[in-house]
Chains A and B, each alone.
Chain A
Amino acid sequence: MDIFDIFLLEAVINGLLLGGLLALLALGLNLIFGVIDVVWICYAELIMVGMYAIFWSHTDFGWPLWLAFALGIGLVALLGMALHWFIVRPVLSAEPINQLLVTGGVLFFLQAAATVAFGVEFRNIGIRLGGIPLGDVNLSIARLIAFAVALLAIVLAYLFLTRTYTGTAIRAISQDREIMPLMGVNPGKVYLVTSAMGGGLAGLAACLLVLQYDIHPAIGLSFGPITFLICVLGGLGNLFGGFVAAFIFAQFISVGGYVLKIEWGYVLAFVFFIAMMFVRPEGLFARRR
């Protein structure tokens, strides 16, 4: 092996690109938990619904891709609001375990419903973007787009949370819910806006994932657990921690997969996760209380 290993470099770059995408996934889940204090275990299944919406509107109804993407984002945002209103809101003051179970129920419901509605076949929107060569490294355009869009979305979400009144209220409500009405804030409305934002981020992730992956009812299982573990590793509810943890995880998967074998990347990532739970059970960046 050379001192300068071109394939290792490619693995590092791919890990970086994957990290951006995982950071976007973690942002949505972390936002919901940080603000509403409920984990949407079914988060990746919302992405799956978005992917099917994009697939059907684009391939069956012939909608242009941009319109199908808009539908995917809008639909999952609405789905996020519905999830909050019908499932989460009634259990807001229930035990955390009940909240997990009920959103876990939604996970299996959506998976089963998708199987009934769409069958178990793998589908894709038939777009292959190819790659661009950069020296000896071949970079996937779909991954580059996913990385750029994910980072842009994260920056926009950050600006929204820090610069606007609603964004400030979203940060405030996680610190003291009870006094929000004294500020003239309707807490229920803030929760709905947050849920729409979490759903919209899941919809955006669906747009980026249909460019790279086949769609099937269990696709959520490929992303759901890892998104959750990233959030836990970064400190549940800590948006910055989730961002950093996503890049760490992605490098384990990508570089680990290269050094050993492709499937071993995930094994290494999960071993790292379990080890970290012993060393720092509160996450790399504990949730700032």
Chain B
Amino acid sequence: MLELDGVSAGYGSFQALFDVSLKVNAGEAVAVLGPNGAGKTTLLRAISRLIQIRSGALSMQGRRYNDLPAHEVVGLGIAQVPEGRRLFPRLTVEDNLKMGAFTPSARGSYRDRLDFVYSLFPRMKERRQQMAGTMSGGEQQMCAIGRALMSQPRLLLLDEPSAGLAPVIVQSIFELVRRIRAEGYTVLIVEQNVQQVLKVVDRGYLLDTGRIRTSGTSAELLASEEIRKAYLGV
């Protein structure tokens, strides 16, 4: 579905990604693991075209979209839940969800999408008139995921959904990811929480200082020397 081929990107004179190639097949859940500053967020920003890539190729369902303006990427079926959730704090929950359905194709099915998101997150329905910024971190994460789902994406990009949340909430967020997969969405998730995320994805890549170090199935990664040493402390 999504394919990156030899992608390099960065900010000014700083290069954050070096020759990154990865692939997400339809129906899969794939994780990109790596420490702080590994280039994980840059990777998702490049996929969403929020930053220009310097070389390589991006393609979605066989269509190369290296030069597509960022606001047209949603139209390809790619929705991103950005790092730190980034809700519109002084809009209501429902207005936030409405922004997720901004594209002309999503507007047509706004009611259906809203019902779907509310059935997935009944809590959001209870809070639909509340200002998004006044909710707890976990609720905000639900709202941010719901907002991304409003555009009826094929591929959902999640940037550190567990960051900054209490351990109990983290559990429920990963449970959510599992449910979203069950709904048939393809998921690419960036995480530092290696142990938890590998329980909900099929495969993963290890990104370090902008380069893919290793990749494999969840089981392979859990067993791999690099991951065990760096992240699991064993």
Contact = CB atoms under 8 A, between A and B. Distances in A.
B73 A165 contact: no
B92 to A, nearest CB: 10
B192 interface: no
Contacts of A182: 48, 50, 70, 74, 79-80, 82, 148
Contacts of A165: 98, 101-102, 107
Interface in A156-193: 165, 168-169, 171-172, 175-176, 178-187
Nearest to A165: B102
B216 interface: no
A183 B89 contact: no
B95 interface: yes
Residue from B72, B74, B99, B102 having most chain A Cβ neighbours under 10 A: B99
Interface string A254-289: 000000000000000000000000000000000010
Given A179-B86, A181-B48, A182-B50, A172 B99 contact: yes
Given A182-B48, A183-B99, A184-B151, A172 B71 contact: no
Interface string B87-105: 0111100010011111100
Given A182-B82, A183-B74, A171 B102 contact: no
B90 A184 contact: no
A168 B91 contact: yes
A180 B48 CA distance: 12
B71 A176 contact: no
Interface in A175-218: 175-176, 178-187
Interface residues of B, number: 30
A181 B86 CA distance: 13
Contacts of B147: 183
A168 B48 CA distance: 22
B91 A186 contact: no
A180 B89 contact: no
A186 B69 contact: yes
Interface string B168-200: 000000000000000000000000000000000
Interface residues of A, number: 18
B2 to A, nearest CB: 16
A189 to B, nearest CB: 8
B88 A175 contact: yes
Contacts of A169: 99, 102
B71 A185 contact: yes
B102 A185 contact: yes
A176 B102 contact: no
B56 interface: no
Given A181-B71, A186-B71, A171 B91 contact: yes
A181 B90 contact: no
B91 A172 contact: yes
Contacts of B71: 180-181, 183-187
Contacts of A187: 71
24 contacts: A165-B101, A165-B107, A168-B95, A168-B98, A168-B99, A169-B102, A171-B88, A171-B95, A175-B88, A175-B90, A175-B91, A176-B86, A179-B82, A181-B48, A181-B69, A181-B73, A182-B50, A182-B74, A183-B71, A183-B99, A183-B102, A183-B147, A184-B106, A186-B69
Interface of B: 48-50, 69-75, 79-80, 82, 86, 88-91, 95, 98-103, 106-107, 147-148, 151
Given A179-B82, A181-B70, 17 more contacts: A165-B101, A165-B107, A168-B99, A169-B102, A171-B88, A172-B95, A175-B90, A175-B91, A178-B50, A181-B50, A181-B69, A182-B74, A182-B79, A184-B71, A184-B74, A184-B106, A186-B69
Closest 9 CB pairs of A and B: A181-B70, A184-B74, A184-B103, A181-B71, A186-B71, A175-B88, A172-B88, A183-B99, A183-B102
